[in-house]
Each structure stands twice: as structure tokens, then as C-alpha cells.
Chains A and B, each alone.
Chain A
């Protein structure tokens, strides 16, 4: 048994574990070198990761173990008094800090004013991120082509806040492209966190997908991630970008958004393109002109 210590436990995970009795609580469904995705018996997702990014659904652990060597898929995950056992991996949960995602409080700033304050930096952040999209692999290029098409359709909508039409266009991207979390899913996640956060601020309708629909097109873990994101539960980097946007803090937005690229192979980059697309759509709806926010020409291919 390899013992490691949890550094942070996301609030969502804590609530799930608090409700569970000791014993078998689920199974690991996907295992990577640094990350394990666990499906609980209550159909919840818990992500165990060695990476430094915190999230409500994450357990961040210390240590250098390659999870593939100590955990086998679909073996029982057991909750013990002070620990979680996944195969030959024992995670000590004592002394871990709880990560709580901050609330979207009232910043005292009207959304239009916040976006106006961001008008220069957002475009520059897009340019900066797009320089990092140097992967010209054909599998990704095909996905970006579809994303570009979807973005163009959304920009051409007469009612840019119409959630039904937005949802229909986005729905075509679910499961699109390569990756454990497909490129299309990552784009949707970035899009929904911004779109729904800003919509809530303006009293507009949010866009949500149900799990059954998502599961017809993508894998369970990726579907769960989309559901969390549409409900405004995300990693701390994306949340930092959302908060900075609502506060009209361009430098904060830039710093947070540039924390995303290291996530996954292209997941962080794809997610950030979703973020920029949603900002463009909503700012255009509010008649705020964001300089140089040219999504269509900044996608590869």
C-alpha cells in the first residue's frame, strides 16, 4: 500500500464523503499518471490529482507516485475513518485544508461597466493564448474547424442571449475531437462557466445540458465535468478568471487565464477559447466593443 497525504479537499468532495458510511463508496473509472477519476455509488465524480489546481470536486495530494502503477480501474474505492483507499493507494485525509470556491458576490459594478474596463486586455489575452495553440495535428484542426463554425453561428444569432439557440449550437460540439475530455467538451466548459455566470448576473437564462444527452455523445467523466461547470463549479484558475471579469480586473483576468494552458494536452487552451467566445457573445449583446477579440481568426487551422 502506498500512503500519500491529501493537501486540499474540495468542498463538494467533503460533502460527498460526509454523507457516506465507511466502506465501499465507488470505483476508479479512469486512471492517468497524475489523476484518477472516481465514480461514486451515488453517481458523483471525485477527482484525485497530484496537480496543483484546486477545485470543489478535487482531492489534491502530495507525492510523486504514478497512479497507473498502484491503482487498477473498477476496483473498489473504500472510505476509511481517516483515509480513502483506491487500490493500493491510501490517501490520508486528515489535516487537509478544505477548498471552498468563493461566491459570486455583488461587485458593485454593472456587468457592462466591468466588460468595458476589460475591453483592451481581453483581446490581448486571446492573442497571447492563441500563440500557444501551435498544435497543428489534423485531429485537432478538424475539431477547431467545427468550433469556429459554431462560434460564427452564435455571433450571427440575432438574439445573442437566446439560450435555446446557443444550446443547440453548443450541443453539436459535445464529444467532438480528440482527448480524454474531448476538445469540444473543453470548449463548452469554458463557454458555459462564463455564459452562465454572466447570465445570472443579468437575470438571464442559463444554458444547461442534462446528463442523459451528454452521455450519448461523450464519456461519463467529461459529461460530469460539463455539468459541474454549467452549475458554476470549476477549477480555481477558471474561477479566478470569472471573478476578475466580473470585477472589471483586467490584469487579474490575464494572469488567471494564462494559468489554464498547462491543464491537459490542449484542455486548458480549448477551455480558454470557450471563455473568450462567451465573453464576445455577451459583450456584443450588451453593446460593449471588446478590442481585438477575434476568435475566428485566432483558432488554429
Chain B
């Protein structure tokens, strides 16, 4: 101890944690196959969204993504074989967060998938994420038919190669592509940077297109790659998630800090990390989101919440910045007044207002940043986030988008362990 009371220690630690979270400066610096650029990635190992889970307890969409990844890697010839392999224990499963990686929805990263590499210029950490496949029938929502697998291969062979050449061109001029200014600007253009990346995707393309054109890659591939990214409003999601992971990681492992540095779901469980409690998981059953459904689907089709994408709220944007994004309610449901209320409610459980992520509608106040587990337990208010909704059966894909409120139990448990470990 330093002579400070525990409350002073917590205050000091939390101040430092959120300062680091806000000052983190993630740059996109590389892209490559996971087994080449992401430490820990290897054959017969899949990392996934959320807290740890074994095959027997995996939800439908996560199982679907595992089956799809096994087919994509060529570890199995067909879904039945893939399922048998997954069940046999021959495939190792581990959370993305154990490798400073994040993936949306099922978030499965296999060794031959291209992953985006970010470097935090301020604190030196590297983080990783996936390229976005688009919406609907995609691997991250548990779909794995030929169309899905063909797209994944195209992403690897064409989009991945184009982006790899692009970032090399960028690095001839500068250290990498700065992502925080894009996110900050997108918040002023109607994105909340979790479920709406319309502005961010445009800004990102504007930033990288000149470098893409200098790569010397064939015009056909460039046009294909550009059109794919341009048509997909979620192109920036993977970059934003890796950036948010870098921010949250910068706030991790600060002694006495009660700030949550991971909040994530695997479709069965929801889990958090707390800065001063290291990589200890605190989990609870994942809730089913309330949503807006794609035609032909309803709540009865929905899987409980899934994905590492709540890293956006962990870093102070996404659902926490809904007031910046009135149009988001057409995608996730609710009303514009709800969007504003949600942001205002999140101020009650966060430590500070972000220095760089500001919300025009709230007179440019900073977004609510740094979920403090003390405030969650004290107020009974838990994080409310925006999310995509996967079908509960493997092989189908996305059925809607919506809003989900985290259960309080894991925050209570984390606070108990904090009290046990640090005493008063």
C-alpha cells in the first residue's frame, strides 16, 4: 500500500485506467493470415468470441461457425465430419481475448483467416480482428454453406491481398492508418460505431483508396475489393473493434482499478474482465436481445447474445453513444428518445466522459467511458448495448439486430473478488 485509503487507491487507479483508455492511439499496421501474424494461432485451434466454452455448451451460431471454420481450413470434408471433429476434442477452443483479438458475433478465427493487425502507438500493444463478411448468411452468424465458404476464400485470396498491399503502400508514407480520428469523426456523422458504420466505412475508404490504387494489383481485383467494401456498411467494424480492444487493453491490469476492460458474449455466457483482476472471467447466462427482425423471423428464432463487439461499449461508444446516432433505431429498434436516454443512463455507471469521442446532440459531451463495476452494483444499472442477432440453429445466419442489457450478477461477483483480493 502507498498510505492511501482503498477508496483513494481505487480513484487513482480508475483515473489512470480511463486516461490510458482514452489516450490509446491504435493504428492499422498490417494484415495477414492468423497463423503468421497472430501469436498463438495454429492448426487445429480456433479462437472465438466471449468467455471460454467447450463444444458441448456452445450455442448454435458458434457451433455453426466452428463447423464452417473446419470446412474452410480443410480439416473436414463435410459438416457431419466437422461436427464429429469438434466433438472429439481434437480442435482446441479458446477465447479471442486471450490473444488480444476480437471477433464479431461467433468471432471464430481460424489459422488461415486473414486478420487485421493494429498497433497502439501510445502503449505498444498489438490487437487483432477479422475482416467483415457483410450481413445475413455469413460465418460469424453461424452459416457455413458453399456461398459462405466461397466468400471467405475470396476474402483471403483477393480482399486480404489487396489490403495487405494497401497497408504496405501506406507504410511507405506513415506508420499506419490512424483509426481514432475516423471513429471520432463518424460519431459526428451519425454512427455510434458498433451497429452503424456507414460514415466510418466511407471515411476509411476515403483514407485508404489512394494507397489501394498505388499497389500495382490488377484493376479487376482492386475493383472487386473496393466494391465489396463499399457495399458493406460494416466494413469498418473489424477495424473499430480492434481499435476498441487496444483502448480497453491499455486500461487493463491497473492495480485497484474497478473499470471493466472486457465485456463479451459467446451465445451461451456473457463475461467480463475487470482491470485490476487480470484475466479472471466473471460470467452469467447470456440474455436474448430485444430486436428488430428480418422478414420471416421473430424472437423465438433468436440465440442468446453473442460476440466480442461489445468491446465498443467497453471503450465508451456503440450503445453508450446511441445519442450520436438517431438513425440507429431503425436498425436495432427503440426510439430516438430511447437512444438519448440510454446514453444518459450509461453516464451513471461510467467513470468519465470521453475526451475525443463526443456527441453533438448532447452539446458535444464526451461519451460515457469506463464502466465502473462499483457504479453498476451501486445503481443497479447495467450496460445496455447494440447487437446483431443470430439464429439459434447453426447454419442459418443473422435474423435481426437489437438491444441487450447485461445481467448484474457477474458485476456483483467481480466486486466480491475485488474486495477479497484488495481488502479495505
Contacts and interface: CB of A to CB of B under 8 A. Distances in A.
B65 interface: no
Contacts of B415: 128, 131-132, 258
Nearest to B11: A134
Contact of A132 (B11, B374, B381, B420): B374
Interface in A224-276: 254-255, 258-259, 261-262, 269
B416 interface: yes
B44 interface: no
Contacts of A127: 419-420, 423-424
Nearest to A128: B419
Contacts of A297: 424
A222 to B, nearest CB: 22
Contacts of B380: 259, 261-262
Nearest to B5: A300
B412 A258 contact: yes
B7 A128 contact: no
B379 interface: yes
B378 A261 contact: yes
B33 interface: no
Interface string B244-288: 000000000000001000000000000000000000000000000
Contact of B374 (A124, A131, A136, A298): A131
A130 interface: yes
Interface in B369-424: 374, 377-381, 409, 412, 415-416, 418-420, 423-424
Contacts of B377: 132, 258, 261-262
A255 B11 CA distance: 25
Contacts of A262: 377-381
Contact of B378 (A132, A255, A298, A300): A132
A131 B420 contact: no
B7 A134 contact: yes
B379 A131 contact: no
B135 interface: no
Contacts, number: 53
Interface of A is mostly: helix
A125 B412 CA distance: 10
B424 A131 contact: yes
A262 B374 CA distance: 11
Interface in B171-213: none
A134 B11 CA distance: 10
B412 A131 contact: no
A93 B240 CA distance: 49
Contacts of A130: 424
A67 B381 CA distance: 21
A134 B351 CA distance: 13
Interface range on chain B: under 10, 10 to 19, 20 to 34, or 35 or more?
20 to 34
Contact of B419 (A131, A134, A261, A269): A131
Contacts of A269: 378
Given A131-B6, A131-B374, A134-B374, A298 B419 contact: no
Contacts of B420: 124, 127
Contacts of B149: none
Contacts of B409: 255
Contacts of B412: 254-255, 258
A128 to B, nearest CB: 4
Contacts of B85: none
B336 interface: no
A131 B381 CA distance: 17
A127 B416 CA distance: 8
Nearest to A132: B378
B10 interface: yes
A124 B258 CA distance: 17
A96 B258 CA distance: 40
A95 B424 CA distance: 47
B352 to A, nearest CB: 15
A124 B416 contact: yes
Interface in A93-146: 124-125, 127-128, 130-132, 134, 136
Contacts of A132: 374, 377-378, 415
Nearest to B409: A255
Contacts of B416: 124-125, 128, 254, 258
A191 B6 CA distance: 26
A90 to B, nearest CB: 24
A131 B375 CA distance: 10
B419 A124 contact: yes
Interface in B26-43: none
B29 to A, nearest CB: 40
A125 B424 CA distance: 12
A127 B423 CA distance: 7
B424 A298 contact: yes
Contacts of B424: 127, 130-131, 297-298
A186 to B, nearest CB: 15
A43 to B, nearest CB: 32
Contacts of A125: 416
Nearest to A133: B7
| Chain B CB within 10 A, most for which of A131, A134, A269 | A131
A124 B381 CA distance: 23
Interface string A168-210: 0000000000000000000000000000000000000000000
A44 to B, nearest CB: 28
B416 to A, nearest CB: 5
| Chain A CB within 10 A, most for which of B7, B10, B418 | B7
Contacts of A131: 6-7, 10, 258, 374, 415, 418-419, 424
Pick the 4 closest A-B CB pairs, nearest first: A262-B380, A127-B419, A128-B419, A132-B378
18 contacts: A125-B416, A127-B424, A128-B418, A128-B419, A131-B6, A131-B258, A131-B418, A131-B419, A132-B374, A134-B10, A254-B412, A258-B412, A258-B415, A259-B380, A261-B378, A262-B380, A269-B378, A297-B424
Given A128-B419, A254-B412, A300-B7, 5 more contacts: A124-B416, A131-B258, A134-B11, A259-B380, A262-B378
Interface of A: 124-125, 127-128, 130-132, 134, 136, 254-255, 258-259, 261-262, 269, 297-298, 300
Interface of B: 6-7, 10-11, 258, 374, 377-381, 409, 412, 415-416, 418-420, 423-424
